[in-house]
């Protein structure tokens, strides 16, 4: 929580300082996750991604990983939901 106060006080970007994930959905067909910590599980119906202090679960159908790098994951398919678990 101390880092949270520092980022607020100095108006620093929280995603960079705290390593928080940035999840961006492009309609119902594509989703990007930046600042991830790896993929925990994958199927054509669900993808679970590890983040700094949580997991991100993406559900849908015909899911595929279009791109996977150290900093970015791009998931495509018919997206139905995103759940954050702490």
Report how far residue 78's alpha carbon sits from residue 17's, in angstroms, rounded to the nearest whole number: 32
Please check whether residue 70 lies inside any domain of the structure: yes
Q: How many domains does the chain have?
A: 1
pTM of the model: 0.82
DSSP state of 2: H
Please check whether residue 11 lies inside any domain of the structure: no
Inter-residue contact 40 to 56 (CB < 8 Å): no
Determine the structural domain holding residue 56 and report its residue range.
19-85
CATH code at position 60: 2.60.40.2000
Please check whether residue 13 lies inside any domain of the structure: no
Report how far residue 29's alpha carbon sits from residue 76's, in angstroms, rounded to the nearest whole number: 6
Please check whether residue 5 lies inside any domain of the structure: no
Tens-level pLDDT at each residue, the chain (86 residues): 565 665 565 665 565 656 789 999 999 999 999 999 999 999 999 999 999 889 999 999 999 999 999 999 999 999 999 999 98
């Amino acid at each position: 929580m101390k880092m949270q106060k520092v980022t607020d006080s100095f108006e620093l970007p929280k995603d960079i300082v705290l390593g928080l994930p940035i999840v961006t959905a492009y309609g119902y067909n594509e989703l990007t996750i930046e600042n991830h910590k790896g993929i925990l599980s994958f199927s054509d119906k669900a993808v679970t991604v590890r983040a700094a202090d949580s997991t991100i679960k993406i559900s849908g159908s015909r899911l595929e990983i279009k791109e996977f790098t150290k900093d970015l994951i791009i998931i495509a398919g018919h997206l139905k939901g995103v759940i954050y678990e702490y």
